[in-house]
Structure formats: C-alpha cells, structure tokens
C-alpha cells in the first residue's frame, strides 16, 4: 500500500517539482483535509513539510521543501537542486486526512 512507504520515490519528487513550477500544489489553508508530511534530517531537526492528496505526493513536497525551500514561492526549481535519492537518515512522518 502506498501509505506504508517511508520515503518519496523519484516519481513523487518529480511530481512535487512539477507542482511547484506549475502552481498546482495544495495550500493547506484552502484545502485542510489532506495528507500531511513532516521530514526530519539525521539530527532529528524538522527541515520540511508538505500537504497533498496522497502520501507519496505529500512526502515528495516535504522533500522539495527541505531541498529547495523557496520552490513554491518562486515557482522554479533549479536543475540539480533537489536530490532524487533520499538519504536513509531522513525520516518522513505522515499524518492521514481526518475521516469526515
């Protein structure tokens, strides 16, 4: 199952980059009931977060936030700025949408 994964795939990361560049990402203040992901670095420091309709997309956006923090604001990701191989030391914490 997708929600059992512990890190984003390269496809999730590419989708996050596309979402950033096209403005097709979720603003959690407008769509509050989504998957939410926080990513922590090897030292346990929170370095990014993301909201999306699927766990993979949320993890991809959280990773994008960690690697290229201004990507959503700038609607641009510099080539090579985001790694597609997420180090094992990084931890992704997923929160599912509330059941309504």
> Is there a domain that residue 89 lies in?
yes
How high is the pLDDT of residue 24?
Answer: 87
Which range of residues forms the domain containing residue 14? 2-95
* DSSP β-bridge partners for residue 91: 40
Number of domains in the chain: 1
- pTM of the predicted model as reported, rounded to 2 decimal places: 0.90
Please give the pLDDT value at position 1. 41
Would you say residue 60 lies in a domain? yes
Residue 69 domain flag: yes
Long-range contacts of 75-80 (CB under 8 A, 24+ apart): 75/20, 75/21, 75/22, 75/23, 76/20, 76/21, 77/17, 77/20, 77/21
Greatest distance between any 2 Cα atoms in the chain = 40
Contact of 12 with 95, CB cutoff 8 Å: no
Identify whether 73 is part of a domain: yes
The pLDDT value given to residue 91 = 97
């Amino acid at each position: 199952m997708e929600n059992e994964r512990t890190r984003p795939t390269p496809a999730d990361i590419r989708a996050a980059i596309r979402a950033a560049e096209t403005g097709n990402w979720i603003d959690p203040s407008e769509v509050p009931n989504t998957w939410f992901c926080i990513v922590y670095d090897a030292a346990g420091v929170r370095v990014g977060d993301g909201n999306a309709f699927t766990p993979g997309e949320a993890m991809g956006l959280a990773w994008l936030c960690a690697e290229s923090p201004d990507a959503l604001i700038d609607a641009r990701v510099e080539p090579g700025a985001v790694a597609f191989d997420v180090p094992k030391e990084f931890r992704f914490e997923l929160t599912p949408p509330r059941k309504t």
